[in-house]
Amino acid sequence: MKVLITGGGSEEPIDNVRSVCNFSTGRTASFLADFFADSGFEVTALMAEKAVKPSRSITRVLTYKTFAQLKAAIEDECRTGHYNAIIHAAAVSDYSPETIQVDGKSYKAGEVSKVPAGTELVIRMKKNPKLVDSLKKNAGKDCTIVAFKLTSNATVPERQAAVNKIFSANSEKSLVPDLVVSNDLSEITATAHPCTLYKNNMTVAGTVQNLKELADFLCKYIKGDVIKITSV
């Protein structure tokens, strides 16, 4: 079986030396890629340039930097090879710089080689589309789609609302993700990574306490093995 795993955080350039980015390390995606490779899957890992990379030599690793590069790479992979599953763990930038003002003069983002230090800088951002909304359309309805939703210091109802927003974004229900992995930054430590996995009808498919349990759950789910539903 073939699986495409995305990971790490995108960077959106302000100029040639500055960018808007996030704190994603790619550790989760890298761990999943190694686990799936060890479990006999044919793995392609699409990782941010600065992210932690999978360690298994049999894993095909591609890199991206910007939102546009990640979008193009996903579309290309979906077009050229059939994947049984896509695990979309990348932390994609919700916004990209569109224009910048340097001391009152406007430029397109990236047009200025380096904004001089000491100048006043104003950045106008544009909203990026959600890549998860188009994964089923690009990969085919028979492809299992797993999305991630990270919150920060959110209550359980707030986490559920964030997950439901992903499932509700597409009016055609056959194109929504099969699973959304919900986790909260406040609960993640060096050894613990608790997650709740939701099906697209907002029922709980299971809960896990660390990355190994998550990888094992997803591996069995994609293979179609029966998984005992754990309580929240």
Of 32-46, 190-204, 215-229, the poorest mean pLDDT is in: 215-229
Rounded Cα distance, 28 and 25, in Å? 8
**Mean pLDDT, the chain, whole residue set:** 93
Give me the pLDDT at residue 37, please.
97
- Token pair, residue 5, equals 């795993």
- Token pair, residue 89, equals 């763990």
Residue 105 maps to a domain: no
Evaluate whether 96 touches 67 at the Cβ level (below 8 Å): yes
Provide the domain count of the chain.
1
Residue 28 maps to a domain: yes
Residue 208 maps to a domain: yes
In the predicted model, is pLDDT for residue 146 greater than 60? Answer: yes
Residue 78's domain is classified under what CATH number? 3.40.50.10300
Residue 27 maps to a domain: yes
In the predicted model, is pLDDT for residue 110 greater than 90? Answer: no
In the predicted model, is pLDDT for residue 56 greater than 90? Answer: yes
Give me the pLDDT at residue 58, please.
93
Q: How confident is the model at residue 111 (pLDDT cuts 50, 70, 90)?
A: confident
Residue 16 maps to a domain: yes
Q: Angle of helix 211-223 relative to helix 27-38, nearest 10 degrees?
A: 50
Evaluate whether 227 touches 220 at the Cβ level (below 8 Å): yes
Residue 60 maps to a domain: yes
Q: What is the pTM of this model?
A: 0.92
The residue-averaged pLDDT of 65-83 equals 94
Evaluate whether 70 touches 93 at the Cβ level (below 8 Å): no
Q: How confident is the model at residue 231 (pLDDT cuts 50, 70, 90)?
A: very low
Residue 102 maps to a domain: no
Of residues 164 and 173, which shows the higher confidence score? 164
The residue-averaged pLDDT of 215-226 equals 90
Residue 207 maps to a domain: yes
Strand partners, 148: 181
Q: Give the residue numbers spanning the domain of 198.
A: 2-93+130-223
Evaluate whether 86 touches 3 at the Cβ level (below 8 Å): yes
